[in-house]
């Protein structure tokens, strides 16, 4: 019997080694692409600024001090944990260190996906394909952000539900994942949706209510864990109250996928893949697999930010589906197979070290030189700038300066938002609106606010050009010349 079983063990070992090799290639690709990207200040900088404030003051940052439109206003800082972490990392390693750490994190997520798929019973080669699929689906969402960080928590949730386990372990596991998740990013609600879909799928598959006990315990763990923060259950109200705000304000990340865009291409290619898989054999997957795939596909069709979550929710069903039709590989000589993994590891390590350049700057559109000019200004003032760089100005200029708006969309009420758009479009009365806020400087980048305000500022006598480069232009309020009062005529007696 041993002789008969030996070939099976050899084939299994060959399959594992090949799966590890393919996973290593996917991980190296993820590291090479992600860590080679210049850091984006769009979202990151405002979190660094808030985190640095918390480190300096030893308190939770929940009263605005960075803008002149909402200065002194209290808000729910639902991402305080991410802000604190970014403040620590930026102080320790700077933007470039954060870039490299983020690349390692995304690469680790790809490895974790492969591992979770294998633990769920999928062929290791299918797990490697799922890791590559995950990276492609995350590709537009892998900059250093709170969302990128909590992708790991979602994968952990997938692992909790992929294997049989006790209700107690499911609850404690979900609790451990959702506590930091609730501090870092408001997407923990997506974890609850995933658990509910898995539970509903198991009920449809088994017709047995006992099958939903573990998903219910996972959902309870998420509800309790996300509430164990400084805001308690209020954090759930914060998430649901702000879930529609970015849609109403037409932010691109919340818009449906469009043909011809990078995000739209990912969505439509993934849709085509799943349509083919569905056509070739729906019964290869149970309802437990199909419900998360279909539901998160619908979410992805409503907003591009959900494409990444669709990718994560569908990795285990994808790996299981692919495993059904995979044939066993022909084993190579043992000594060759044993050498393949370390040799490939050395090769990919060398490739990453050579291919990850050392950036000496941020994204090319970042107004670095214009911001430096502002910093050199003797008297701090108030700056109107694109909201994409409001956080960068706050992080670079410090607490003495104030900006009009930044990327914390959820804290700015409609009047302030509409006023910002009106000024940015140079609508009638834009000068009076800036005067009302005693704005001292305009930092305008055509890529983000267009040319209307830039052209208006050039021709307005109230503003003088201070500096200009390829990113945009910096204006300061022109000094007001004192009017001469005519001397009173002398009255002769």
Note the pLDDT tens digit of each residue in 334-384: 666 677 778 888 888 887 777 777 655 788 889 999 999 999 887 889 999
Which of 76-90, 276-290, 321-335, 410-424 holds the top average pLDDT?
A: 76-90
Alpha-helical (H) ranges within 37-79 are 41-57
Q: What is the pLDDT of residues 399-416, one digit of tens each?
A: 889 999 998 888 888 899
Q: Rounded CA gap, 88 and 97, in Å?
A: 11
Q: Rounded CA gap, 421 and 164, in Å?
A: 52
Model confidence band, residue 492 (pLDDT cutoffs 50, 70, 90) = low
Q: What is the pLDDT of residues 469-481, one digit of tens each?
A: 999 999 998 765 5
Average pLDDT, stretch 285-309? 91
User: Which pLDDT value is given to residue 111?
Assistant: 94
In this model, does residue 52 exceed pLDDT 80?
A: yes
Q: What is the dihedral of CA 242, 248, 252, 255, to 10 degrees?
A: 100
User: Which pLDDT value is given to residue 142?
Assistant: 87
Average pLDDT, stretch 303-316? 92
User: Which pLDDT value is given to residue 161?
Assistant: 93
- CA angle, residues 152, 153, 159, in degrees to nearest 5: 90
- Parse the chain into domains and list their residue ranges: 14-355, 368-477
Average pLDDT, stretch 447-454? 87
For every residue of 165-191, DSSP letters joined together read --HHHHHHHHHHHHHHHHHH-TTHHHH
252 versus 480: which is more confidently predicted? 252
In this model, does residue 487 exceed pLDDT 60?
A: no
User: Which pLDDT value is given to residue 372?
Assistant: 93
Q: What is the pLDDT of residues 430-449, one digit of tens each?
A: 999 999 999 999 999 988 88
- CA angle, residues 131, 137, 138, in degrees to nearest 5: 90
For every residue of 388-448, DSSP letters joined together read GGHHHHHHHH-TT-EES--S-GGGS-HHHHHHHHHHHTT-TTHHHHHHHTT--EEEE-HHH
Q: Rounded CA gap, 358 and 489, in Å?
A: 73
Q: Rounded CA gap, 300 and 321, in Å?
A: 21
Model confidence band, residue 488 (pLDDT cutoffs 50, 70, 90) = low
Q: Rounded CA gap, 345 and 357, in Å?
A: 20
DSSP class of 282: G
In this model, does residue 5 exceed pLDDT 50?
A: no
Threshold 0.95, pTM exceeds: no
User: Which pLDDT value is given to residue 17?
Assistant: 80
Average pLDDT, stretch 27-31? 91
For every residue of 185-228, DSSP letters joined together read -TTHHHHHHHHHHHHHHHHHHH--GGGGHHHHHHHHHHHHHHTS
CB 396 within 8 A of CB 375: yes
Q: Rounded CA gap, 220 and 99, in Å?
A: 35
Q: What is the pLDDT of residues 58-77, one digit of tens each?
A: 999 999 999 999 999 999 99
In this model, does residue 226 exceed pLDDT 70?
A: yes
In this model, does residue 82 exceed pLDDT 80?
A: yes
From 58-62, 228-232, 345-349, 387-391, the region with the lowest mean pLDDT = 345-349
Model confidence band, residue 7 (pLDDT cutoffs 50, 70, 90) = very low
Model confidence band, residue 245 (pLDDT cutoffs 50, 70, 90) = low
Q: Residue 193 corresponds to which tokens in the numbers above?
A: 């949706």
User: Which pLDDT value is given to residue 433?
Assistant: 94
104 versus 250: which is more confidently predicted? 104
Q: What is the mean pLDDT of the chain?
A: 87
Q: Rounded CA gap, 323 and 315, in Å?
A: 12
CB 163 within 8 A of CB 127: no
For residue 444, list its beta bridge partners.
Answer: 473
User: Which pLDDT value is given to residue 175?
Assistant: 96
Q: Rounded CA gap, 44 and 147, in Å?
A: 11
Q: Rounded CA gap, 391 and 301, in Å?
A: 30
Q: What is the pLDDT of residues 113-169, one digit of tens each?
A: 999 999 888 889 999 999 999 999 998 888 899 999 999 999 999 999 988 889 999
- CA angle, residues 353, 358, 360, in degrees to nearest 5: 175
User: Which pLDDT value is given to residue 150?
Assistant: 95
CB 27 within 8 A of CB 111: yes
Count of residues in the chain = 493
From 144-153, 240-249, 256-265, the region with the lowest mean pLDDT = 240-249
Q: Rounded CA gap, 486 and 488, in Å?
A: 6
* Inter-axis angle of helices 167-184 and 188-206, nearest 10: 150
Q: What is the dihedral of CA 330, 335, 339, 341, to 10 degrees?
A: 40
In this model, does residue 1 exceed pLDDT 50?
A: no
* Cβ-proximal residues to 71 (8 Å cutoff; 6+ apart), any chain: 64, 65, 402
Q: Rounded CA gap, 389 and 448, in Å?
A: 9
Average pLDDT, stretch 236-246? 75
Average pLDDT, stretch 277-300? 87
Q: Rounded CA gap, 481 and 75, in Å?
A: 41
In this model, does residue 253 exceed pLDDT 80?
A: no
In this model, does residue 311 exceed pLDDT 90?
A: yes
């Amino acid at each position: 019997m041993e002789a008969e079983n030996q070939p099976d063990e050899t084939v299994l070992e060959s399959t594992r080694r090949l799966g590890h090799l393919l996973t290593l290639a996917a991980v190296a690709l993820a590291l090479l692409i992600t860590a080679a990207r210049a850091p984006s200040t769009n979202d990151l900088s405002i979190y660094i600024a808030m985190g640095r404030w918390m480190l300096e003051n030893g308190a939770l940052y929940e009263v605005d001090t960075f803008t002149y439109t909402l200065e002194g206003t209290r808000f729910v800082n639902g991402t305080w944990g991410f802000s604190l972490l970014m403040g620590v990392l930026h102080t320790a390693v700077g933007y470039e260190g954060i870039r490299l750490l983020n690349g390692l994190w995304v690469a680790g997520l790809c490895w974790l996906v492969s591992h979770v798929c294998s633990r769920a019973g999928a062929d290791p080669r299918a797990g490697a394909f799922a890791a590559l699929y995950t990276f492609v689906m995350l590709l537009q969402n892998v900059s250093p952000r709170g969302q990128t960080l909590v992708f790991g928590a979602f994968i952990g949730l997938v692992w909790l539900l992929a294997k049989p386990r006790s209700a107690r372990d499911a609850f404690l596991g979900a609790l451990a994942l959702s506590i930091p998740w609730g501090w870092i990013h408001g997407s923990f609600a997506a974890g609850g949706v995933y658990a509910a879909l898995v539970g509903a799928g198991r009920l449809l598959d088994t017709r047995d209510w006992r099958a939903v006990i573990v998903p219910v315990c996972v959902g309870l763990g998420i509800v309790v864990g996300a509430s164990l923060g400084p805001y308690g259950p209020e954090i759930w109200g914060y998430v649901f109250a702000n879930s529609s705000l970015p849609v109403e304000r037409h932010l691109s990340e919340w818009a449906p996928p469009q043909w011809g865009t990078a995000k739209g291409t990912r969505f439509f290619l993934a849709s085509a893949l799943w349509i083919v898989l569905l056509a070739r054999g729906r019964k290869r997957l149970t309802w437990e697999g199909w419900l998360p795939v279909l539901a998160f596909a619908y979410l992805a069709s409503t907003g591009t930010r959900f494409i990444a979550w669709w990718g994560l929710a569908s990795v285990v069903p994808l790996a299981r589906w692919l495993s059904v039709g995979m044939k066993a590989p022909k084993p190579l000589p043992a000594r060759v197979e044993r050498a393949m993994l370390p040799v490939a590891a050395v090769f990919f390590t060398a490739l990453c070290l050579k291919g990850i350049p050392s950036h000496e700057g941020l994204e090319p559109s970042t107004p670095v030189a214009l911001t430096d000019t502002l910093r050199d200004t003797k008297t701090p003032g108030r700056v109107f700038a694109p909201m994409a760089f409001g956080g960068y100005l706050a992080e670079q200029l410090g607490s003495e300066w104030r900006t009009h708006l930044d990327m914390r969309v959820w804290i700015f009420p409609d009047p302030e938002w509409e006023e910002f758009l009106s000024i940015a479009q140079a609508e009638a009365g834009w000068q009076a609106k800036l005067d009302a806020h005693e704005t001292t400087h305009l930092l305008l980048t055509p890529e983000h606010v267009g040319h209307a305000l830039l052209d208006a500022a050039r021709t307005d006598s109230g503003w003088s050009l201070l500096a200009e480069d390829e990113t945009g232009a910096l204006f300061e309020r022109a000094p007001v010349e004192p009017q001469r009062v005519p001397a009173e005529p002398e009255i002769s007696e």
